[in-house]
Structure 1
């Protein structure tokens, strides 16, 4: 086989003449092109006004036709223009499939017009055009590919900027900032109701690997399939939006009708997401700042060795203790003063007995079973505690002080 015949200078001359003649017909070609696009999809007209669409199509086709016969070493103005078009169409929101279709449609139209100009009248010119077919379609493919790459790059940048804007809105809400329309803008961007049931979860940073609780996606995320602050994540029917901080991870939970904090706690405990705190339910995005502070307070009620996730509404007494650390330290000293002077082992036994007795709702028998000792041993230890603290577990006020002092002692890592 002899291979393809190389294009001669004469071939390039005939191709250039054909392209120059075609430029004289450009207005009619643009009219036909715009009409074909409108027939293919009404989206073209929805994104671009007819006059603007016509002008941009005329410029693109003129540059494309000129590029066909340009010297091989000429700058690729057609590719530069395609890159600009790709960026512009991404910002305008025209689907990428329609951008590529427009290039293909224009390529077919130009090629058919070139062939028509030589068919039946100039066999030599027709033969040259046929030999140039591969080159022409390679140029069209390169233009479409360049526009696609520019489109995708611009789309990624737009998404990044959008996510950053949504993160800023969410952060402002979590910080409790007040600004006109802030909650409404966040609701629109996050695709969540402005008014509805929400809770906030705060997890310690060293445990943030437990974000498995975010697996799955809300159907509303599917419109662009990307992750990030701007899109709710689904877990056990609950929608979470997570924000990473240096020392913690914060999750906003959107609760549907019939869902409560029990479901949130079960999900996070099942994924071993703790230690963490869950706020009470608030009634809208505008209250996320308060909910975050409550969730942080709930987390502070967790002892240093805790691994679970706790709800503030179930830890109110302990929350009152941790919210005043100086007063909590004074409470421990006042209530457990003599107890703290004991040998560490002796002190630990008495503290454990009080803790278990409280956990068993004041049942010495149940506490004895968990402590693997006789119930009389439990009674003896409790009486000793009463003697050391000068308080009676039978008096409600004394019992409250003992309970709060025990919480403060635990939260301080077991040190008085």
Structure 2
């Protein structure tokens, strides 16, 4: 804060007399002070009503003058007053530089008034005042510093509270709470449109990396929320924009797995979007490393949304395969998976599996025999495809 070192003896007596005389002019100094502040910036006039500012300035200047000539061991009322002012101005939204300027301006006025008060008097009075200059300006500096520190502390606390409030609003939206006015408050606080295209991204916690998440892309903006079980991103899209850009922005920035919801029409629907993004995430196998879109995984999403039926589907369709040796079973299921990925092309599947195309045909025929289903029949093919998804997503490797 800076130690106050008042003069002693004759100098202190002369300074105290000057300060006592100056106290009578405090109302005049306050008028001049506020006039100069308002000329410097119109922001001062918008902070508080003039009468309230006048009373606060009068108290601060009076206490400051009294402090200049107070004994060394006197309580620092000027610093207490400055700290209170710093906290008030932070809450009122006055920029910090204008707060510091106000203290400097008041210091100049008080010093000029002290000097003017010695004009025409004995030279020893002006000399004593000059010897006190360092102490006077140290007091002004200490006041400005005390006000600044209190201002910054209050500003940080206000920012923390605001962030917590906004996070609480966003969490409530993601939970799907139907509170009146919730979406409007969140829109105002987050600087987002209440109505407009949005999507939600959910990343699984155990695969989360420390890599920086994207915040913006071509026509969209991410807002990320950390949770114990994962990470959620709200995506504000431009009108008419799809999810391709979102998927590209996440590609390479997230190790996966993750899920992207379909587009919803506003903040009030974020709860639904979160649930759909979580469903998309559930379509990712345990060892997956990709972020997937629900609109591209609908059949699989139907499977994972009904766990009991998924288990029965696996048992009914793939039951005989589950009795095979694990290595044998894995070869057959991998062949089916690759053949489906290659859109039913045995040649392309063989190239991926590093085997002959006849080997692919033989494995597929064996699958048909074990499951009593034909890959040439659409309904059977659908059952086998969904059963394969259900088996892989269950993590069951019996």
Same fold judged by TM-score > 0.5?
yes
- CA distance in structure 2 between the aligned counterparts of 1:324 and 1:336, rounded to whole angstroms: 18
Alignment of 1:376-391 (within 5 A): 376-391=358-373
Aligned to 1:346: 328
Alignment of 1:262-281 (within 5 A): 262-281=244-263
SS in 2 for 1:338: helix
- CA distance in structure 1 between the aligned counterparts of 2:397 and 2:25, rounded to whole angstroms: 91
Aligned to 1:178: 178
Residues 238 and 270 (structure 1), Cα distance of their counterparts in 2 relative to 1, 3 Å cut: farther
Aligned to 1:234: 216
1:73-94: CA deviation from partner (whole Å, max 9, x where unpaired): 1110000100000000000000
- CA distance in structure 2 between the aligned counterparts of 1:265 and 1:107, rounded to whole angstroms: 59
1:4-24: CA deviation from partner (whole Å, max 9, x where unpaired): xx9431211111110010010
Task: Give the alignment partner of residue 299 of structure 2, picking from 317, 320, 323.
Answer: 317
- CA distance in structure 1 between the aligned counterparts of 2:92 and 2:122, rounded to whole angstroms: 44
1:391-414: CA deviation from partner (whole Å, max 9, x where unpaired): 011111100000000000100124
Tell me the TM-score normalized by structure 1: 0.92
Alignment of 1:19-30 (within 5 A): 19-30=19-30
Aligned to 2:387: 405
- CA distance in structure 2 between the aligned counterparts of 1:368 and 1:352, rounded to whole angstroms: 11
Shift of 1:122: 2.6
Q: CA RMSD in A?
A: 1.2
- CA distance in structure 1 between the aligned counterparts of 2:112 and 2:183, rounded to whole angstroms: 55
1:273-325: CA deviation from partner (whole Å, max 9, x where unpaired): 41100000111000000000000001111101001001100001111110111
Whether the aligned pair in 1 keeps the contact of 2:196 and 2:239 (CA below 8 Å) is: no
Shift of 1:259: 3.4
Tell me the TM-score normalized by structure 2: 0.97
- CA distance in structure 2 between the aligned counterparts of 1:59 and 1:208, rounded to whole angstroms: 56
Aligned to 1:333: 315
Aligned to 1:33: 33
- Does 2:350 match 1:368? yes
Alignment of 1:14-413 (within 5 A): 14-214=14-214, 233-235=215-217, 238-257=220-239, 259-413=241-395
SS in 1 for 2:94: coil
- CA distance in structure 1 between the aligned counterparts of 2:130 and 2:210, rounded to whole angstroms: 63
Aligned to 2:3: none
1:330-356: CA deviation from partner (whole Å, max 9, x where unpaired): 100000011111111111110010000
- CA distance in structure 1 between the aligned counterparts of 2:329 and 2:26, rounded to whole angstroms: 95
SS in 2 for 1:209: coil
Higher deviation after alignment, 386-395 or 113-122:
113-122
Shift of 1:415: 2.6
Whether the aligned pair in 2 keeps the contact of 1:210 and 1:272 (CA below 8 Å) is: no
Structure 2: segments with no counterpart, 5+ residues: 1-5
- CA distance in structure 2 between the aligned counterparts of 1:147 and 1:129, rounded to whole angstroms: 26
Shift of 1:257: 3.6
Aligned to 1:224: none
- CA distance in structure 2 between the aligned counterparts of 1:180 and 1:8, rounded to whole angstroms: 67
SS in 1 for 2:209: helix
Aligned residues: 393
- CA distance in structure 2 between the aligned counterparts of 1:101 and 1:273, rounded to whole angstroms: 51
- CA distance in structure 2 between the aligned counterparts of 1:414 and 1:351, rounded to whole angstroms: 13
Shift of 1:236: 5.6
Runs of 4 or more above 3 Å deviation: 235-238
Whether the aligned pair in 1 keeps the contact of 2:209 and 2:254 (CA below 8 Å) is: no
Whether the aligned pair in 2 keeps the contact of 1:213 and 1:235 (CA below 8 Å) is: no
